[in-house]
Structure 1
Amino acid sequence: MPTALSRSQAPAGPHGCFAGALGAQAAEGRIRRSCDVGVGGFIVVTLGYWLHCRYNYAKQRIQERITREGIKNKILYESTHLDPERKQTKSSSNST
């Protein structure tokens, strides 16, 4: 009699969900439950991957916006009295 896969042996990803569903069917003989396990596993994996991609995309957009603002400020304030780098070089040359 085949047994269900243990957690350490269960494959990951959509194929793992399918294998888990087949294992549940073989172990218990309940087709509906194995189908529910397969569909549920597919939904969980798909939703998890979608959330991961959404998070990375949002993080990348925030980093791009900060970089764009920094470049804009660098262009605007370069060689003016408001340039922070120019103030640092003046104060360091005055102290010596």
Structure 2
Amino acid sequence: MTEEADDIQKKSVTIFGRDVAAIPCFRSSFLYGIGSGFAGGLTYFLFTSNTRWATHVGFTSFVIVTMSYWFHCRWQWSKKKFTHGQLQAVMQKQAMYEGTDYDLTDKGQVYEVKN
């Protein structure tokens, strides 16, 4: 029974040979897009009773919300990844220089480097 459960969890959707579950912001972008497309199309249909234009409005709102949320989320993700990379480099330097003349964390005092 556990092997079947593991197989079900391991299955994922691949598009062009790439696992979409591993793409940052993919899931949330599509969920927001689908929800907004449905809501936009349904709202337009309720006010006008025009099915053709309601589907156009629904699909257009799906595309616009999906793309805008995708770009916003990826922008924030890229900024966060860049900041984490900078922080990781500084932490590695701190660990390397700890206890030497280059260590700058001793009670806020800055030491001059002697050559």
- The TM-score, its normalising length taken from structure 2, stands at 0.53
CA contact (8 A) 2:44 2:54 kept: yes
- The TM-score, its normalising length taken from structure 1, stands at 0.62
CA-to-aligned-CA distance 1:37-89 (integer Å, 9 cap, x gap) = 11111111111221222122112201210111111110121111111224817
Superposition map of 1:1-96 within 5 A? 13-23=36-46, 25-26=48-49, 29=50, 31-86=51-106, 88=109
Residue identity in the other structure for 2:77: Y
Higher helix fraction (1 or 2): 1
Residue identity in the other structure for 2:81: R
Q: Among all aligned residue pairs of Structure 1 and Structure 2, give the percentage whose two residues are the same amino acid.
A: 22
Total equivalences in the alignment: 77
The Cα shift of 1:25 comes to 4.1
Task: Quote the RMSD (CA, aligned, Å).
Answer: 2.7
Quick one: distance in 1 between partners of 2:70 and 2:47? Answer: 26
Structure 1 stretches of 5 or more lacking a match?
Answer: 1-11, 91-96
> If you compute each CA radius of gyration, which structure gives the higher value, 1 or 2?
1
Residue identity in the other structure for 1:13: S
